[in-house]
Structure 1
Amino acid sequence: MIIPLTPLDFRRRALKLYPEKTAVVCGDKKFTYREFGIRTNKLANGLLDMGVKRGDRVAFISYNCHRLLEAYYGVLQAGAVLLPINIRFSPREIAYILNDSEATALFFNPDFIDLIKPIMINLKTVKNFVMLCDENESYDFDADNYEKMLARSSPNDPPELEIDENEMAELFYTSGTTGANPKGVMLTHRSLYLHGLGVIITHNLNDSDAMLHTIPLFHVNGWGTPQALTCMGGTHVMLKKFDPETICRLIEQEKITKIFLVHTMANMLMKYPGLNNHDFSSLKRIVLGGAPAPWQMIKEIEQRLKCECIAGYGLTETSPYLTSGALKSYLMNEPEEARWIRQARTGLEVVGVDLRVVNEQGEDVQRNDREVGEIIVRSNYVMQGYWKLPQETAKVIRDGWFYTGDMATVDKEGYVKIVDRKKDIIISGGENIASIEIERVLYEHPAIYECAVIGVPDEKWGEVPKAIVVLKEGYTAEEEELLKHCRERLAKFKVPKSIEFTDSLPKGGTGKILKRVIREKYWQGYEKRVY
């Protein structure tokens, strides 16, 4: 028997097996899976009533909330494609995405009216605007009201679709590099279904799990949580904005079992003065992604929150999960420091992923943790391609493998460690320098809160490493002190030629540090961002 694979089957299972269990907690609102199912039916029927057709792109600009989670299913039930847009994109970028995707409907939170108003005249295909707000709210904007739309829509199942598992289900736009437009990543029903199962296996999810949505749902498929947790009947706890006090309160109040964080979020959480005043006994696992975290961060989280902390890795193009830093059973008795160092590594390939690290000749690097190569993967989780960009797709999917652009080593146990993005490698006097290696050393200094290392122009060497650092509150450090710290731990050619202090670093929608933005200041007047 061959049945089309679709994440809609996860919704069906949850409604059948867990109808009266709490599905979603969003502020002071709570919905059971039965209520959640009725609302996604109403959304699907509302979309059909407004004329949305099969394959149409339906865009959402929203914080994490129950309405955006409903879209992960209701839009697909209508046969359409979900297009979550990063709330940090500029009006120009949003207009480009809406036009490039040919979206026919736009749902948005009222907070983003000022993003939408200036671009409305330039939108070529959007016919329907819907405000994501309560029924009694009104704004000076000509748009439908989400709750009113649901109120007049049928709660019954929409007409049943004959699903093609290879049809696009979600479309995510990645941040464009300087001067380039964002690229749309096409994820199919099949990819999302199989990826959801992979996340369930990777994190051993079940109906007792309650997960806090710290990662924005507009970012890389919400790390697979909308599908995986729904399938197992777990509880989604929505977080509108990242705030350490709110996170601590919700972990304690809702008995959160697992959360995903990026390094910047973890840093803020550990810095929160009230951390020790909360009960974290329900927490079982914290996964750090987005960018490599220093092992000292893993140590601090485990010691203070008394739960397992591991690294994870993935990309928008891979749905996103590729690796997990979970330990093999026979490695769990390693000395604590060795264990933390291993858990901070990029990790082992997860179920459903075939991952290799290859040199420029396409040969697997040695498992000596020294030879550097590019991570390439083969998996059902990999995107169908870039929307309307076949040439760009062909650049990254070659001979049946997806080339990630991430450079890594592999140790004797098969654990991968990313040393840098291919584009972030600093080439100084012909030597390759991994910016992440320098950052790891800087994070070992007690005064460093955040840092980013970039290549800057140099007449003699082409480019040289420069560190931009943010100090912890109450700490002081001088440039020479930090340079001395680096000299004692790095080869001479890897030591930053200068260190600049700043109050903050530019970040993307998940808190990931944006090196491409930092570079702009130093590369103005140059045609390329390398020398």
Structure 2
Amino acid sequence: MTGAAPDSPIGEVAGTATDAAMGCEHPDHGHTAPTIPRLLIQAAQVHGTAEAARDGELRVTWSEFAARVAGRAAQYAHLGVGRGDRVAVLADNGLAFLEAYFAVAAVGAVSVPLNVRLVPRELAGVLEDAEPVLLLAQERYSRVAREAATLISGAIELQPLAQSPDATGVLEPGPAREGDLAHLYYTSGTTGRPKGVMLSHRNVCQHALAAACELSLAPTDTWAHIAPMFHLADAWASFAITLVGGRHVFLERFEAGAALDLMERERATITNLVPTMLGAMVARTDAAARDWSRLRSILSGGAPIAPEVVRAIVATFRTEYVQTYGMTETSPYLTLSKLGRAQAGLSAEERLALSARTGRPFLGIELQVVDADGARVPADDTSVGEIRVRGATVTAGYWRQPEATAQALRDGWLWTGDLARVDRHGFVEIVDRAKDMILTGGENVYSIEVENVLYEHPDVLEAAAFGRPDVQWGEAVWAAVVPREGRRLDAAALIAHCRGRLAGFKVPKGIDLLEALPRTGSGKIAKRLLRDGI
């Protein structure tokens, strides 16, 4: 089964007046629509001996990178992997993971990136659903992979994802077509049947092109793969940076000091991090003193971010900050807070405030904020509605789950479940996930508003607001807070801090002081676990 996308060339959306005005170059001017292998083939042809990637002491040029991918593809083909087959990958960030993305696509197969934080039983649930014929596991995950494989009903080939492949072949485009399924990303829900989001070659290549245009990506860019490559918070850059012939560098697993070291040592120009990572990095006393002269942009996505955190990021890295919003279902970006000429006359404070918002629509995405009747809400920055989107980067649906697909994709739109408002600039601001909104005493409380106030306290490192069942109010506003290192917090004092800044019904009834907040595999805060008191 493949997740077929509508048959239209990738250039149809990209080749618009907006695209041309941005000076974007198309990856393929002929009649053959780009696929993932073609992105790399062109990069090798154009950039040849330029450095493509560095992983520790290993450096490879674009020509060498393509040859290594060809070697991996030949290995997978020898194992019988072919068009439409699924290949699961269990690994940390690194060149081997990047090569696997391209090699699996080169044989026409489908990559199924696995969350390395899952236990064998959870991994088995994903494997049972995706039915991969091959599981590639980094050495440190070989035991977990074997155990997960024993828990599924079907047969699966286990192979190590080695750092050193055969590099003697010539990379060919392979059998994949633009509408073929390229990736299955499993959503990070902690209960129920896992959902595999289907992304086609067209979805992935269109997103790479749009991202290159929006972010002015160039061969001079060095992308730091710091967020996990099994998640689209980082994986999209595997293809966008390859498209433009930039340079890839890798941090195997996140640690704040190591992330700062990598970015400084490798002279990174751009990266995308989740807010919790950025919070940990800017909290380090040595962060601001480093050499960030080559860094031109810090992107943040995967969760909302408080304005105070944005202020600290800009002060630390002395570079452009861009807030991003997206979904696995949309490859992922839907908005960017990147400012344009229309905002040039704003004050520095107004520009910072806009940069901290969810942002304006991503190139090629049609985005609306609508009320319960499907009517667009006014751009008054007050009226709240649900975000719905459509475009060439939107999924065809969920793997073998027609009911879930029908629920998410209605009337030609993907309904995101995110609640937002729109300002006069056309910038949206997410106020909550529909499922995270707190209903207390008949009043709606948006958790992000409460969290932003908590972040204004100088001793708060992380905060999450959520609702807990309450006999009197239906739900009570509650919060969990992590103090900065070496600081002490008092729950009563924090509640008093909120009381002076929020309406009474929005003030937390209680605050849990924790050493860390529970997270999903992509680094997002797992509010369900907080609500359940786990």
Per-residue Cα deviation, 1:92-144 (whole angstroms, up to 9, x for no partner): 1111111211100001112113322333322334432111235xxxxxxxxxx
Aligned counterpart, 2:9 = none
Aligned counterpart, 1:72 = 101
1:86 and 2:115 matched? yes
1:403 and 2:432 matched? no
Which residue identity does 2:32 align to in structure 1? I
Aligned counterpart, 2:140 = 111
Aligned counterpart, 1:502 = 514
1:520 and 2:532 matched? yes
Structure 1 residues 277 and 413, CA, compared in 2 at 3 Å: closer, same or farther? closer
Select the residue among 33, 38, 48 that pairs with 2:62: 33
Residue 88 of structure 1 and its aligned partner are, at CA, apart by 1.0
Structure 1 residues 269 and 360, CA, compared in 2 at 3 Å: closer, same or farther? same
Residue 157 of structure 1 and its aligned partner are, at CA, apart by 3.5
Per-residue Cα deviation, 1:190-238 (whole angstroms, up to 9, x for no partner): 1111111111011110000001011211002735101110010000111
Comparing 215-224 with 167-176, which one deviates more in the overlay? Answer: 215-224
CA distance in 2, matches of 1:102, 1:330: 49
- Aligned 1:237-256 pairs, distance under 5 A: 237-256=249-268
Which residue identity does 1:315 align to in structure 2? M
Aligned counterpart, 2:76 = 47
Contact 1:223 1:320 in 2 (8 A): no
SS of the residue aligned with 2:488? coil
- Aligned 1:405-424 pairs, distance under 5 A: 405-424=417-436
Aligned counterpart, 2:492 = 480
Structure 1 residues 202 and 295, CA, compared in 2 at 3 Å: closer, same or farther? same
Structure 1 residues 222 and 304, CA, compared in 2 at 3 Å: closer, same or farther? closer
CA distance in 1, matches of 2:242, 2:90: 22
CA distance in 2, matches of 1:157, 1:373: 48
1:167 and 2:180 matched? yes
Count matched residues.
505
CA distance in 2, matches of 1:440, 1:202: 28
Comparing 486-495 with 355-364, which one deviates more in the overlay? Answer: 486-495
Which residue identity does 1:133 align to in structure 2? A
CA distance in 2, matches of 1:80, 1:284: 36
Which residue identity does 1:36 align to in structure 2? F
Per-residue Cα deviation, 1:400-438 (whole angstroms, up to 9, x for no partner): 000011110100110000000011001112211101110
Per-residue Cα deviation, 1:341-360 (whole angstroms, up to 9, x for no partner): 11010000011100000110
Residue 491 of structure 1 and its aligned partner are, at CA, apart by 1.2
- Aligned 1:370-381 pairs, distance under 5 A: 370-381=382-393
Aligned counterpart, 2:222 = 210
1:441 and 2:453 matched? yes
Structure 1 residues 256 and 157, CA, compared in 2 at 3 Å: closer, same or farther? closer
Which residue identity does 2:159 align to in structure 1? V
SS of the residue aligned with 2:285? coil
Per-residue Cα deviation, 1:127-170 (whole angstroms, up to 9, x for no partner): 32111235xxxxxxxxxxxx4xx33x861335x53432111011
Select the residue among 141, 156, 165 that pairs with 2:170: 156
Aligned counterpart, 1:493 = 505
Residue 177 of structure 1 and its aligned partner are, at CA, apart by 4.3
1:388 and 2:400 matched? yes
CA distance in 2, matches of 1:460, 1:117: 50
SS of the residue aligned with 2:145? helix
CA distance in 1, matches of 2:86, 2:129: 10
CA distance in 2, matches of 1:162, 1:156: 15
CA distance in 2, matches of 1:305, 1:176: 33
Select the residue among 59, 81, 89 that pairs with 1:60: 89
Which residue identity does 2:295 align to in structure 1? L
Which residue identity does 1:404 align to in structure 2? T
CA distance in 1, matches of 2:135, 2:175: 25
Contact 2:114 2:123 in 1 (8 A): yes
Contact 1:93 1:181 in 2 (8 A): no
Structure 1 residues 482 and 221, CA, compared in 2 at 3 Å: closer, same or farther? closer
| Ranges in structure 1 where 5+ consecutive residues have no aligned partner | 135-146, 523-531
CA distance in 1, matches of 2:196, 2:249: 28
Residue 83 of structure 1 and its aligned partner are, at CA, apart by 0.8
Which residue identity does 1:484 align to in structure 2? A
SS of the residue aligned with 1:299? helix
CA distance in 2, matches of 1:190, 1:221: 19
Aligned counterpart, 1:143 = none
Contact 2:146 2:158 in 1 (8 A): no
SS of the residue aligned with 2:451? helix
Aligned counterpart, 1:526 = none
Contact 2:108 2:175 in 1 (8 A): no
CA distance in 1, matches of 2:195, 2:361: 26
SS of the residue aligned with 2:532? helix
Aligned counterpart, 1:458 = 470
- Aligned 1:121-136 pairs, distance under 5 A: 121-133=150-162
Contact 1:426 1:432 in 2 (8 A): yes
Contact 1:245 1:274 in 2 (8 A): no
Aligned counterpart, 1:97 = 126
Per-residue Cα deviation, 1:428-460 (whole angstroms, up to 9, x for no partner): 122111011100111011111101111001001
Structure 1 residues 41 and 221, CA, compared in 2 at 3 Å: closer, same or farther? farther
Select the residue among 42, 45, 48 that pairs with 1:13: 42
1:365 and 2:377 matched? yes
Contact 1:76 1:169 in 2 (8 A): yes
Instruction: Calculate the aligned-residue CA RMSD, in Å.
Output: 1.6
Comparing 221-230 with 209-218, which one deviates more in the overlay? Answer: 221-230
Contact 2:234 2:272 in 1 (8 A): no
Which residue identity does 2:152 align to in structure 1? L
CA distance in 2, matches of 1:184, 1:79: 18
Residue 277 of structure 1 and its aligned partner are, at CA, apart by 4.2
SS of the residue aligned with 1:521? coil
Contact 1:249 1:278 in 2 (8 A): no
Residue 89 of structure 1 and its aligned partner are, at CA, apart by 1.5
CA distance in 1, matches of 2:126, 2:153: 11
1:300 and 2:312 matched? yes
1:176 and 2:201 matched? no
1:282 and 2:294 matched? yes
Contact 2:211 2:240 in 1 (8 A): yes
